[in-house]
């Protein structure tokens, strides 16, 4: 009896050990926090300057070879469109979208949304095939070749940006802004939307410089801006940063997001994984052995007798 | 089938058609598949069963829809929502089916690890329930994935090691193999390859321990998946550090109650297939399982209250969402605890059975609340597309058909009678007298009616 038990025990421990070693690598990724590449680029969006002309939308559509929309880009009635009571969002044919936020007695505020290119992106950390990549230039890119289509990234993204091309039966993929990485960013050029803007709403530059510029604007024009750079710290910091003269929550921003990246919510669970893998085999094999001992030596026989009965 | 037995027909429960005569005649595989009936008889009994007509109606509509999904794409059967990337197919098929299939590792642990051999008659049903639940969770997943043919990618092509889903994928795949091994004992007996069954029995402790580890982690991981949805999921259903424990803990009563529920259905609808060992022990086993389930529910209730206190969510309880949350907790947790308590005190297996169904409803409601109803609570509610509802129903119906197919055949509800060499010399002989003509099962069936 003893021999068998020991062998079983060792086998179980070995299996557990092997599994633990595997999961250590699992941890290494999620362990430390990442503040972004030092020379990562970004865009500072100044909402006070935007007039809602939608040139950026048109430029993006052209640059990314997306299908032409049902309404042309100079159709401003689109600002009144609602889907389930919601303003427009990104979808498979529009990687960026401008929405209008009105308030009685104030001029409307227009806000452009697109991927914010987080320092520690939730889409990237939630992807089980590593389809996303944060490039050193600051873009969060996506590799459709390995994407299985679980759409976990869409659940994880705190800004609800990634869209899915559900209409494709054989090659559906995630559709989102990639910072024009392949066509422009890699060569040091700003993305198409930034280039197209007639109002200079967007400033392209290194993220750390942009934070200085944003702080300068807040300081030199007192009273004009809300004293906050949205994206400086939200979910661990984003490459796209925003300045506004209206409280951010009034113009569609989620101001309840924590400063920690989304992955930090999941780390608690991830860190229990190696412990369970290491402890459970010994614990339950131990229970098994204990419950045998109880029978004063008859235990093992009781079990094998049972097996005999079945035959 | 009942008619067949009443008319003195023989059911397949061993290798041999008849034990009495010297030249023992074996059942052929075809005869085993047809339950010992002639093809004509088999077809006749299938057509007689009204439940089959309901299934046929579901398949007639549902199967074309499933095929259509692979031809026209997901947008044909769902609302293609970018706000609700996970719809009903996953809310029910993955997040509900998996906890309901925790039965395999629970009973495996009770019997193999803790040596509770009194659970033996129902262990195989629990293992099968686990296996099928997981298998069909994967089927549901395959229908919902954008590119299901890439499902092995996280194992062979590209590794997203920091992702919770990576862990789910690996663990579900491994656990499926473990469960196939566990259930294969019945298959080996049925197909007539005792060596296979013997081998599995040798490694059963290892398999069971592996089952516990994998179950702990991936039941929890399904909960942990929702910790990504910070800000999207209503705070009453979102607990960054506790979510995985909630999913794991509630899977325990869910799995146990699923065994009670399935055994109840089996008792009512296929009594002919159950042997005395199963039938006679069922009431006491039901109460024992109910005891386990109520302990699980009490623990679950306690840790849920700790969660509300820890994250200081008391304020939310007064809102509409709070009432919905309280309803879920009352119907799915508090009421079952009370009913189980009463059933256990007064030895009422019937009440325990009813309560098991209630608990299953409660856990299902929790999972659907988490993944669909309280998800995106700030924006709008997703009402699933009618095609998505039918597809979900259809896959579930296939699950029932497969489940029934296996229960009819493999020695899950009955003990496979083996090896004349042992039978000849031991006292097991009297068991062999038990045949179709024997009055007992028939009379039991009559009582049932």
The 10s digit of each residue's pLDDT in B362-410 is 999 999 999 999 999 988 888 999 999 999 999 999 999 999 999 998 8
Q: What is the pLDDT of residue B394?
A: 96
The C-alpha of A249 sits at a distance from chain B's nearest C-alpha, in angstroms, of 13
Containing structural domain, residue B27: 1-36
Question: Which pLDDT band holds residue A311 (cuts at 50, 70, 90)?
Answer: very low
Chain B CB contacts of A303 below 8 Å: 115, 117
In a domain, B446, yes or no: no
The C-alpha of A129 sits at a distance from chain B's nearest C-alpha, in angstroms, of 4
Statement to judge: residues B116 and B222 lie in one domain: yes
A83: phi then psi, degrees, rounded to nearest 5: -120, 115
Residue A152 corresponds to which tokens in the numbers above?
């976990």
Out of B163, B167, B220, whose CB is closest to A127?
B163
Q: Does B72 touch chain A (CB under 8 A)?
A: yes
Apex CA B260: angle with CA B434 and CA B224, to 5°? 140
Give CA–CA dist B198/B200, Å, rounded.
6
Q: What is the pLDDT of residue B228?
A: 92
Out of B147, B205, B216, whose CB is closest to A148?
B147
Q: Three-state SS string across A112-177, please? A: EECCCCECCCHHHHHCCCCCEEECCCCCEEECCCCCCCCCHHHHHCCCCCCEECCCCCCCCCEECC
Give CA–CA dist B98/B89, Å, rounded.
13
- Structure confidence by residue, pLDDT tens digits, A133-176: 999 999 999 999 999 999 999 999 999 999 999 988 899 999 99
Average pLDDT in chain B? 86
Statement to judge: residues B134 and B16 lie in one domain: no
Q: What topology is assigned to A41-260 in CATH?
A: Alpha-Beta Plaits (3.30.70)
Note whether A217 and A18 are within 8 A (CB).
Answer: no
In a domain, B241, yes or no: yes
Q: What is the pLDDT of residue A30?
A: 44
- Structure confidence by residue, pLDDT tens digits, A185-214: 999 999 999 999 999 999 999 999 999 999
Question: Which pLDDT band holds residue A7 (cuts at 50, 70, 90)?
Answer: low
Average pLDDT over residues A115-122: 94
Which residues, 6 or more positions from A179, have their beta carbon under 8 angstroms from its beta carbon?
A41, A115, A117, A137, A138, A139, A140, A141, A185, A191, A239
Q: Are B160 and A16 within 8 A, CB to CB?
A: no
Statement to judge: residues B339 and B397 lie in one domain: yes
Give bridge partners of residue A164 from the DSSP assignment: A174
In a domain, B353, yes or no: yes
pLDDT at residue A306 above 70?
Answer: no
Q: Which of A29, A152, A283, A292 to mutate to test the interface with B (most CBs of B within 10 A)?
A: A152
Statement to judge: residues B86 and B137 lie in one domain: yes
In a domain, B344, yes or no: yes
In a domain, B438, yes or no: no
CA dihedral A58, A62, A64, A66 (to 10 degrees): 80
Statement to judge: residues B27 and B143 lie in one domain: no
pLDDT at residue B11 above 90?
Answer: no
- Structure confidence by residue, pLDDT tens digits, B65-97: 999 999 999 999 999 899 999 999 999 999 999
Note whether B353 and B256 are within 8 A (CB).
Answer: no
Q: Which of B154, B60, B381, B233 is nearest to A262 (CA)?
A: B233
In a domain, B442, yes or no: no
Q: Are A29 and B161 within 8 A, CB to CB?
A: yes
Note whether B297 and B336 are within 8 A (CB).
Answer: yes
Statement to judge: residues B351 and B401 lie in one domain: yes
Residues 315-354 of B with CB under 8 A from A: none
Statement to judge: residues B130 and B32 lie in one domain: no
Question: Which pLDDT band holds residue B444 (cuts at 50, 70, 90)?
Answer: very low
Note whether B129 and B257 are within 8 A (CB).
Answer: no
The C-alpha of B235 sits at a distance from chain A's nearest C-alpha, in angstroms, of 12
Among chain B residues, CA nearest to A257? B231
> Tokens 């009936």, residue?
B37
- Structure confidence by residue, pLDDT tens digits, B271-329: 888 888 899 899 999 999 999 999 999 999 999 999 999 999 999 999 999 999 999 99
Residue A247 corresponds to which tokens in the numbers above?
């409280």
Among chain B residues, CA nearest to A86? B379
**Full DSSP string of A164-219:** E-TT-SSS--EE---TTTTTTGGGTPPPHHHHH-TT--EEEEEHHHHHHHHHHHHH
Statement to judge: residues B22 and B119 lie in one domain: no
Q: What is the pLDDT of residue B17?
A: 67
Give bridge partners of residue B233 from the DSSP assignment: B375
Residue B253 corresponds to which tokens in the numbers above?
């009563």
Q: What is the pLDDT of residue B257?
A: 96
Among chain A residues, CA nearest to B214? A277
Mean pLDDT is highest, among A1-5, B6-10, B427-431, for: B6-10
pLDDT at residue A5 above 70?
Answer: no
The C-alpha of B40 sits at a distance from chain A's nearest C-alpha, in angstroms, of 33
In a domain, B151, yes or no: yes
Note whether B272 and B441 are within 8 A (CB).
Answer: yes
Statement to judge: residues B25 and B160 lie in one domain: no
Q: What is the pLDDT of residue B439?
A: 43
Statement to judge: residues B18 and B161 lie in one domain: no
Question: Which pLDDT band holds residue B415 (cuts at 50, 70, 90)?
Answer: confident
Statement to judge: residues B26 and B93 lie in one domain: no
The C-alpha of A190 sits at a distance from chain B's nearest C-alpha, in angstroms, of 28
Statement to judge: residues B14 and B101 lie in one domain: no
Q: Are B73 and A167 within 8 A, CB to CB?
A: yes
Residue B380 corresponds to which tokens in the numbers above?
């709008």
The C-alpha of B261 sits at a distance from chain A's nearest C-alpha, in angstroms, of 25
Give CA–CA dist A98/A78, Å, rounded.
10
Helices A263-293 & A299-310 angle (0-180, nearest 10): 90
Chain B CB contacts of A91 below 8 Å: 82
Q: Are A288 and B112 within 8 A, CB to CB?
A: yes
Q: Are A269 and B154 within 8 A, CB to CB?
A: no
- Structure confidence by residue, pLDDT tens digits, A16-71: 555 544 444 444 444 456 677 878 999 999 999 999 999 999 999 999 999 999 88
Q: Does B157 touch chain A (CB under 8 A)?
A: yes
CATH of the domain at B220: 1.20.1630.10
Give bridge partners of residue A111 from the DSSP assignment: A99
As for how many domains chain B has, the answer is: 2
Among chain A residues, CA nearest to B151? A148
The C-alpha of B134 sits at a distance from chain A's nearest C-alpha, in angstroms, of 17
Give CA–CA dist A287/B114, Å, rounded.
7
Q: Does B248 touch chain A (CB under 8 A)?
A: no
Buried b (16+ CB within 10 A) or exposed e, B113-150: bbbebebbbbbbbbbbbbbbbbbbbbbbbebbbbbeeb
Chain A CB contacts of B419 below 8 Å: 311
Q: Where do the domains of chain A lie? A: 2-31+265-298, 41-260
């Amino acid at each position: 009896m003893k021999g068998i038990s020991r062998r079983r025990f060792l086998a179980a421990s070995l299996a557990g050990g092997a599994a633990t070693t595997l999961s250590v690598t699992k941890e290494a990724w999620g362990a430390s926090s990442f503040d972004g590449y030092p020379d990562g680029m970004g865009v500072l969006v100044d909402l006070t300057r935007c007039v809602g002309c939608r040139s950026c939308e048109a430029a993006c559509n052209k640059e990314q070879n997306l299908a032409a929309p049902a309404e042309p880009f100079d159709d401003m009635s689109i600002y009144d469109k609602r889907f389930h009571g919601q303003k427009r969002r990104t979808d498979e044919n529009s990687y960026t979208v401008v929405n209008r936020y009105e308030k009685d007695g104030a001029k409307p505020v227009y806000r452009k949304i697109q991927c914010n290119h987080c320092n520690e992106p939730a889409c990237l950390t939630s992807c089980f095939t590593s389809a996303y990549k944060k490039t050193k230039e600051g873009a969060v890119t996506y590799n459709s070749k390995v994407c299985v289509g679980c759409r976990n990234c869409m659940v994880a993204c705190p800004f609800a940006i990634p869209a899915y091309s559900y209409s494709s039966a054989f090659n559906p993929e995630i559709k989102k802004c990639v910072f024009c990485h392949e066509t422009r960013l890699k060569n040091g050029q700003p993305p198409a939307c930034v280039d197209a803007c007639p109002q200079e709403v967007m400033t392209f530059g290194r993220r750390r410089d942009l934070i200085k510029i944003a702080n300068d604007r807040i300081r030199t024009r007192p009273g004009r801006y809300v004293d906050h750079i949205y994206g400086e710290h939200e979910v661990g910091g984003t490459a796209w940063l925003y300045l506004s003269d209206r409280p951010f929550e009034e113009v569609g921003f989620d101001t309840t997001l924590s400063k920690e990246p989304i992955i930090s919510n999941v780390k608690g669970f991830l860190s229990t994984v190696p412990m369970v893998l290491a402890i459970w085999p010994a614990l339950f094999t131990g229970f098994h052995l204990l419950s045998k001992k109880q029978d004063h030596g008859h235990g093992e026989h009781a079990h094998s007798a049972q097996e005999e009965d079945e035959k | 089938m009942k008619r067949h037995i009443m008319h003195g027909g023989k059911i397949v429960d061993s290798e041999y058609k008849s034990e009495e005569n010297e030249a023992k005649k074996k059942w052929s595989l075809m005869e085993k598949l047809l339950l010992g009936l002639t093809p004509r008889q088999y077809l006749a009994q299938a057509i007689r069963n009204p439940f089959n007509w309901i299934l046929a109606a579901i398949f007639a509509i549902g199967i074309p829809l499933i095929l259509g999904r692979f031809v026209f794409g997901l947008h044909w059967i769902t609302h293609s929502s970018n706000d609700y990337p996970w719809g009903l197919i996953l809310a029910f098929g993955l997040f509900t089916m998996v906890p309901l299939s925790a039965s395999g590792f629970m009973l495996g642990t009770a019997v193999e690890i803790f040596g509770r051999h009194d659970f033996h008659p129902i262990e195989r049903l629990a293992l099968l329930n686990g296996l099928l639940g997981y298998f069909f969770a994967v089927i549901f997943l395959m229908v919902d994935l954008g590119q299901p043919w890439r499902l092995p990618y996280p194992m062979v092509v590209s590794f997203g090691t920091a992702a919770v889903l990576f862990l789910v994928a690996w663990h579900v795949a491994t656990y499926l193999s473990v469960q196939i091994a566990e259930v294969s004992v019945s298959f080996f007996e049925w197909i007539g390859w005792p060596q296979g069954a013997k081998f599995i029995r040798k490694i059963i402790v290892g398999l069971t321990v592996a089952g516990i580890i994998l179950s702990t982690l991936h039941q929890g991981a399904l909960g942990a998946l929702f910790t990504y949805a910070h800000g999207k999921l209503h705070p009453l259903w979102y607990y960054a550090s506790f979510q995985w424990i909630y999913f794991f803990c509630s899977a325990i009563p869910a799995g146990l109650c699923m065994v009670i529920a399935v055994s109840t259905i089996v008792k009512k609808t296929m009594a002919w297939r159950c042997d005395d060992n199963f039938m006679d022990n069922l009431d006491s086993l039901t109460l024992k399982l109910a005891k386990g389930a109520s302990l699980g529910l009490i623990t679950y209730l306690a840790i849920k209250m700790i969660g509300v206190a820890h994250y200081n969510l008391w304020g939310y309880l007064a809102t509409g969402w709070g009432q919905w949350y309280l309803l879920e907790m009352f119907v799915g947790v508090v009421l079952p605890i009370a009913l189980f308590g009463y059933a256990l005190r007064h030895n009422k297996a019937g009440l325990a059975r009813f309560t098991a169904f209630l608990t299953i409803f409660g856990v299902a409601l929790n999972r659907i609340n988490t993944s669909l109803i309280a998800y995106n609570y700030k924006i709008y509610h997703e009402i699933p597309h009618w095609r998505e509802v039918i597809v979900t129903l259809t896959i579930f119906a296939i699950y029932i058909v497969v489940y029934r197919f296996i229960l009819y055949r493999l020695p899950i509800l009955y003990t496979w009678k083996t090896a004349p060499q042992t039978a000849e010399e031991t006292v097991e002989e009297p068991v062999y007298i038990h045949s179709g003509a024997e009055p007992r099962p028939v009379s039991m069936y009559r009582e049932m009616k």
